[in-house]
Structure 1
Amino acid sequence: MADPENTLVLETTKGRVLIELRPDLAPKHVERIKTLARKGFYDNVAFHRVIEGFMAQTGCPNGTGTGGSDLPDLQAEFNAEPHVRGVCSMARTNYPHSANSQFFICFDDARFLDKQYTVWGKVTEGMDNVDKIKRGEPVREPDRIVSMKVQADVA
């Protein structure tokens, strides 16, 4: 049974997605995602960059990939977890310690990202819904996270 304190429930415009959080891999990143989810930060945020066969990126309040939360950027927590289908990892600029609120979900293997981006979770249910997210860079009329909550708070 999944730990509700370390499970995210995303209601997206394409359906529900459950993500298992991995505090064992990236405790500060998991804490940040949970903090922002509990503030409602991710609610109604667009999947602004979605590349076929690669990944769907979200978490920018501006919907453009240019913004983040008002919290400070995180120190990188690079780990050996492979970037494979369903993995959730933190987006960042060219500076390693610039992850803030944006993240992506891999559609397929993206092993060239290994140990350069912080993996913090994995989709455990609803990957078929992630597959339905509208593609584009930028996406016209993008799909969105309707709401993102920590499962322990949903009850």
Structure 2
Amino acid sequence: GNALREVYDKPEVAEKFEYMEDVSRVTRVMSVASSTPQTKNYLAKKSGGIQKRVFVPIVPKPKVQKPKLTEPYSPAITKPKPPRTKSPSPPHVIKANPVPDYKEPNRPVIEHRLIELPMFSLLGEEISKRKSQEIKERIRQEKEKWKRCVNLSAATSYWFP
């Protein structure tokens, strides 16, 4: 309640509400009255007339700010670069190398290491050994069979002169 009273006590707000009350009173009278202009004028005079007040806004209009003029500038590429300062180099020192010995050619020193491998066998090696033994056994059997056949045919064959 107190906050509303403080708002209504301000002169700008009070003027605004008075103006609105005057307008609403006249519009009520106008709507009730007949449509003849004499009656409207009579009622307007009787009610005290319309007090026209201009509503002044509390917040002033912001001033339009003009944008600043653009100032052209060149990129850093076209600007001349200052010369680089060279760091002082250390004095040149001649380092002596030992005199090479040309009697014997240069041989690299290689450390020979012997690595002992563990015993291992692959599955394929066992299979190939077994197959090669089977093939040798078959060849041996075929030779024996062939010799028997040759011996048998030699014994049974007759020479006719």
**RCO higher in structure (CA 8 A, sep ≥6):** 1
What's the TM-score once normalised by structure 1's chain length?
0.15
What's the TM-score once normalised by structure 2's chain length?
0.15
Which structure has greater strand proportion? Answer: 1
Which structure has greater helix proportion? Answer: 2
